[in-house]
Amino acid sequence: MKNRQNVMIKGTKNGLSLQLNDRCSYEELLTELNEKLADLQGVDMDTPLISVRILSGNRFLDAHQQEELKDLIRQKHNLIVDEIESNVIKKEEAQRILDEQEVTSVATIVRSGQVLEVSGDLLLVGDVNPGGTVRAGGNIFIMGALKGVAHAGYTGKQESVIVASFMTPSQLRISEYISRAPDHYDQEDHHQMECAYIDKTQQIVIDRLQVLKHLRPNITRFKGGHYDG
């Protein structure tokens, strides 16, 4: 008799949860999962699709193993894998996450025809001239004039923002959303920094910088110290 189950199936309000033992061999997992799925054969096949969430704990499942588990579960016609969660990731994936969280500071002028791209947040001390482009996987902060193209969140992060001391862009892009600049600007409105973000209607809007602390309260990574603002 087994001392421990390698696959534990629990019902949840959203479907089924499969907790996998992360200390047994992968082959043992497959064998027991087959047995557990066979025990479910009495379930009515005419029921709607049931979502399955796989929890692999500290076991890393490569792409082939994930697909193998999904195929095995799909053989039970009313089960479909919604997500696979693991506590571990590859070193490359961890490095990619670190890169996306990094703030890259650059002091330069991005001239016409030039493209400045970073994988995380960009802090540019300088201007982006007409015809110049800045791209960031995260947020873009420009301590200068934005007169060219700025594309924030190019990896799909819709919560990204664009901030500039003087916001007169030829084009703004956040994730897959694009907004062309207005034909005319009121120069009196450009004595303060402004920000661009995607609002609830999925439109890019430009507003005063002060709104950011309410719209994106977690935008800063400041830790320690004390601030009474």
| pLDDT digits 0-9 by tens, 64-102 | 999 999 999 888 778 889 889 888 777 776 666 666 668
CATH of the domain at 183: 2.160.20.70
pLDDT at position 187 over 80: no
Q: Are residues 100 and 30 in the same domain?
A: no
Confidence of residue 1 (pLDDT cuts 50, 70, 90): very low
Can you read off the two tokens belonging to residue 27? 């082959």
Confidence of residue 189 (pLDDT cuts 50, 70, 90): low
Q: What is the pLDDT of residue 186?
A: 53
Average pLDDT on 133-159 reads: 95
Q: What is the pLDDT of residue 162?
A: 96
Angle at 145 between CA 139 and CA 148, to 5 degrees: 75
Angle at 187 between CA 181 and CA 188, to 5 degrees: 125
Give 190 or 200, the one with higher predicted confidence: 200
Q: What is the pLDDT of residue 123?
A: 94
Q: What is the pLDDT of residue 217?
A: 81
Backbone angles phi, psi at 211, to 5 degrees: -75, -20
With a pLDDT cut of 90, the percent of the chain lying above it is: 46
Q: What is the pLDDT of residue 191?
A: 57
Strand 194-198 and strand 162-167: the pairing is antiparallel
Instruction: State which of 36, 58, 85 marks the end of a domain.
Output: 85
Q: What is the pLDDT of residue 135?
A: 97
Q: What is the pLDDT of residue 36?
A: 85
Q: What is the pLDDT of residue 145?
A: 95
Give 128 or 36, the one with higher predicted confidence: 128
Closest by CA position to 40, among listed 12, 78, 13, 4: 78
In this structure, is residue 68 part of a structural domain? yes
- Cα–Cα distances (Å) from 52 to 78, 157, 168, 174, in that order, read 10, 26, 49, 33
Give residue 17's domain range.
7-85
* Cα–Cα distance for residue pair 142/125, rounded to 1 Å: 6
pTM over 0.85: no
Instruction: State which of 85, 120, 138 marks the end of a domain.
Output: 85
Q: Are residues 109 and 203 in the same domain?
A: yes
Q: Are residues 99 and 201 in the same domain?
A: yes
Average pLDDT on 132-159 reads: 95
93: part of which helix (H) or strand (E)? helix 91-101
pLDDT at position 181 over 90: no
Q: What is the pLDDT of residue 105?
A: 93
CA 100, distance to chain mean position in Å, is 10
Q: Are residues 195 and 122 in the same domain?
A: yes
Q: What is the pLDDT of residue 223?
A: 45
Which of 27-36, 118-127, 184-193, 209-218 comes out lowest in average pLDDT? 184-193
Instruction: State which of 85, 113, 146 marks the end of a domain.
Output: 85
Average pLDDT on 113-118 reads: 96
In this structure, is residue 104 part of a structural domain? yes
